[in-house]
Amino acid sequence: MVRIAEVEQGTIAEELELQIGTRIVRVNGERVRDGIDLTFLLADQDISLETVGPDGVATVFEIERVPGEPLGIVPAPDTVRECANECVFCFIDGNPEGVRDTLWIRDDDFRLSFTYGSYVTLTNLGPRGIQRLVDQRLSPLYVSVHTTDPDLRVRLLKNERAGLIMEQLEYLVDNGLEVHTQIVLCPEWNDGEHLDRTMADLFALGPGIRTLSVVPVGLTRYNVNRPVRPLTQAESRQAVEQVEAFRQRGLQEKGYGWSYVADELFLMAGYEIPSPSYYDDASLLENGVGAVRHFLDDLDAGIQEGLPRLEGRRIRILTGTSMAPMFRERVSALQEATGARVEVTAVENGFYGPTVTVAGLLSGADLLEAVGPTSENDLILMPAETLNQDDLFIDSMSLESFSRELSPARIVPAYEIPEALRSL
């Protein structure tokens, strides 16, 4: 069942006087379970819409519309389907007190996978749920595989259904769905020969398995060595070499790389981030595969194209410890392009601990401590990904409070530095 959150003006829904809060129970006799169902069922030209209004009155609307005419119903967000696993590497178990409330949600929802590209394990879907994916052509999906060894996957995810993964994937691809897969690499668990087996098993499933990305396990001071430890540099390098072997197979047999190493694993290995050609169509940027290369190329291009002159200003770039060296390599070019004095501050993560080095998980308190005293000539560029849509840092500090603490400096949350500087 779905509730109406909004009725768009000038549409059939407004003409029918559908009200916000109305429940949509069935469409053409089919029960509506969620927003995916609603979208799927409303594709028909002729619609029988069974509703229950906010006053409890049931009404059936018979609707005829021209092809492509929008109905104008905006559904309320679905309740998130939560995770049924207790993964030994679960990042949520590494959250400290004071973290934003939403970061405690253990989501494992195929609807979010289809809509937003988030990875799911499929362990909370029985046969009917898997069949629904096929019936509604919910493709591509993004699936966290981790290992194709049934017993090992059960131990990693602490879920007896986890061992069904190959059976589930085979059914999905045999029925025409495409799947992007992922391995969170845990040393002495699913690396080494297990990694080779998983890559080989997934590769053998054919073109339906569109990609495989391998990312290093992310641990905080609160769950490190309980029971998973971080990868060493040597283990990271070994993993990169193993993935590269399958990337070469992909290039030869599929015409594209197929398997990719996440940015963070390259950094942990002490290797340079590859050129854009490594990432093919860059379809996995949102999942940390190629995002660093994209960012650096945008920064270099912006410097070459020219930036606003900011003589007399001090540009202070805040970032995580993993990205700081790459920024420092570009300080001279930035100073020449802007006329400003440029400083790069590598912010240690005190909120999660030193094992977390990415900029997006820096807290407001850690950023404040790293900045120190400011002046009115300071222009502070901070990573915009540290904020959510409500402008809250991961420790629930607001951007407004953060900016007030650093007054009179100007604070600029930035996804792309050239764009941020040009917007001043």
Confidence of residue 236 (pLDDT cuts 50, 70, 90): very high
Higher pLDDT, 114 or 319: 319
Higher pLDDT, 189 or 91: 189
What percent of the chain is modeled with pLDDT above 70?
A: 100
Average pLDDT score over the chain:
95
Q: How many domains does the chain have?
A: 3
**Is 278 found in the same domain as 160?**
yes
Low-confidence winner among 38-42, 380-384, 392-396 (lowest mean pLDDT): 38-42
**Is 116 found in the same domain as 260?**
yes
- Residue 245 CB contacts under 8 Å (≥ 6 apart), including other chains: none
Confidence of residue 102 (pLDDT cuts 50, 70, 90): confident
Is residue 31 a part of any domain in this protein?
A: yes
Q: Which two tokens stand for residue 231?
A: 């990868």
**Is 62 found in the same domain as 139?**
no
Q: Given its phi and psi angles, is residue 188 left (phi above 0), alpha (psi -120 to 50 degrees) or beta? A: left
**Is 152 found in the same domain as 57?**
no
Is residue 83 a part of any domain in this protein?
A: no
pLDDT in tens, 343-377: 999 999 999 999 999 999 999 999 999 998 999 99
- Residue 398 CB contacts under 8 Å (≥ 6 apart), including other chains: 364, 391, 392
Is residue 86 a part of any domain in this protein?
A: no
Distance CA 387, CA 411 (A): 13
Is residue 80 a part of any domain in this protein?
A: no
Calculate the CA dihedral of residues 389, 395, 399, 405 and round it to 10 degrees. Answer: 180
Distance CA 268, CA 263 (A): 9
Q: Are 219 and 244 in contact (CB under 8 A)?
A: no
Rounded to 10 deg, the angle between the 165-174 and 127-135 helix axes is 20
Q: What is the 3-state secondary structure (H, E, C) of the chain?
A: CEEEEEECCCCHHHHCCCCCCCEEEEECCEECCCHHHHHHHCCCCEEEEEEECCCCCEEEEEEECCCCCCCCEEECCCCCCECCCCCCCCHHHHCCCCCCHHHHCCECCHHHHHHHCCCECCCCCCHHHHHHHHHCCCCCEEEECCCCCHHHHHHHHCCHHHHHHHHHHHHHHHCCCCEEEEEEECCCCCCCHHHHHHHHHHHHCCCCEEEEEEEECCCCCCCCCCCCCCCCHHHHHHHHHHHHHHHHHHHHHCCCCCEEECHHHHHHHCCCCCCHHHHCCCCCHHHCCCHHHHHHHHHHHHHHHCCCCCCCCEEEEEEECCCHHHHHCCHHHHHHHHCCEEEEEEECCCCCCCCCCCHHHCCHHHHHHHHCCCCCCEEEEEEHHHCCCCCECCCCCEHHHHHHHCCCCEEEEECCHHHHHHCC
Residue numbers of the domain that contains 132: 91-288
Is residue 395 a part of any domain in this protein?
A: yes
Distance CA 286, CA 293 (A): 12
For position 140, which CATH number holds?
A: 3.80.30.10
Q: Which of 42, 75, 108 is the last residue of a domain?
A: 75
**Is 52 found in the same domain as 32?**
yes
Is residue 82 a part of any domain in this protein?
A: no
Calculate the CA dihedral of residues 124, 128, 131, 133 and round it to 10 degrees. Answer: -50
Confidence of residue 21 (pLDDT cuts 50, 70, 90): very high
For position 20, which CATH number holds?
A: 2.30.42.10
pLDDT at site 389 = 92
pLDDT at site 25 = 95
Question: What is the arrangement of strands in the sheet containing 141-144, beginning at the earlier edge strand?
Answer: 141-144, 179-185, 209-216, 259-261
For position 416, which CATH number holds?
A: 3.40.50
**Is 63 found in the same domain as 123?**
no
**Is 133 found in the same domain as 71?**
no
Q: Which of 75, 99, 129 is the last residue of a domain?
A: 75
**Is 246 found in the same domain as 97?**
yes
**Is 239 found in the same domain as 220?**
yes
Give the CA count within 13 Å in the CB-facing half-sphere of 228: 26
Is residue 198 a part of any domain in this protein?
A: yes
pLDDT at site 155 = 98
> Is the pLDDT reported for residue 113 higher than 90?
no
**Is 235 found in the same domain as 377?**
no
**Is 246 found in the same domain as 112?**
yes
**Is 103 found in the same domain as 69?**
no
Q: Which two tokens stand for residue 296?
A: 């650096």
> Is the pLDDT reported for residue 303 higher than 90?
yes
Is residue 85 a part of any domain in this protein?
A: no
Q: Which of 288, 321, 344 is the last residue of a domain?
A: 288
**Burial call 174-204: b when 16+ CB within 10 Å, e when fewer:** eeebebbbbbbbbbebbbeebbeebbebbbe
- The overall longest dimension of the chain from CA atoms, in Å, is 69
